Amino acid sequence: MLTLVCALLGVIVGSLLTVVVDRVPSKQPVSSAARALLRRPGTVVGDRHTPMLQVATAGLFAAAALRFGADWALPAYLVFFAAMVAVAVIDLEHFIVPNRVVGATLAVSVPLLALAAVLEPDRSSLVSALVGAVVAGGGLLVVNLVSPQGLGMGDVKLALVLGLFLGWIDLGHVLLGLFLGFLLGALGGVVLIMLKRRTRRDHVPFAPYLAVGAVLAVLAGNLILDWYLG
């Protein structure tokens, strides 16, 4: 039942993400358009993003419910998955990682994780999450300073969010998520060059690969680490 409820919620959130994806890159207000959408859900039916966002968000919300069950951290991970969908689409289309999305995600998810830490018997997860954010953000900041052309500050800020949620699980998941992101980014870049969609000098959006790597680490990290270490 929880999985079904989360999937249905994902459809609604996916529709709302249409507003985010369409308006945030052009720095238009979001809240008024989102409220209008909730009052008149049919206003974005024809938007080209809507079906993709609804399906992706519903699928990820259902997967989160299966992964965490009735854990107090589940609401925070729903926020995280929704943000990853929005960031991936925006970066693919506009080559930016919006501060508004990253900042809003942190503003909502940190209190949710703090509340989960208070309600859970083991409160060490919040400390691990904060350390993970520092490790991930600091690590990508070093990469940015070494090669600013290859990695933007938007990716560094996004890494804070990834590290927070992966660190909540454990620090091994932080390293795994970043590794998967860089691996997917390298493979994706090679494929684009082979298909002649990009050249070696072209900018390739990296946030979608980071997002996919982080989501994979959250959903399947235990299996991957057990396979690698075992």
| Whole-number Å distance between alpha carbons of 46 and 42 | 8
- Residue 45's pLDDT is 47
Which tokens belong to 197? 């969609």
| Whole-number Å distance between alpha carbons of 178 and 190 | 18
Contact 49, 89 (CB under 8 A): yes
- Residue 134's pLDDT is 96
| Whole-number Å distance between alpha carbons of 194 and 206 | 18
pLDDT tens, position by position, 51-95: 899 999 999 999 999 999 999 999 999 999 999 999 999 999 999
- Residue 40's pLDDT is 66
| Whole-number Å distance between alpha carbons of 221 and 162 | 13
Q: Which residue range forms the structural domain that includes residue 147?
A: 2-229
| Whole-number Å distance between alpha carbons of 91 and 102 | 12
- Residue 202's pLDDT is 65
Q: Which residues of the chain have pLDDT under 50?
A: 45-46
- Residue 204's pLDDT is 74
* Overall domain count for the chain: 1
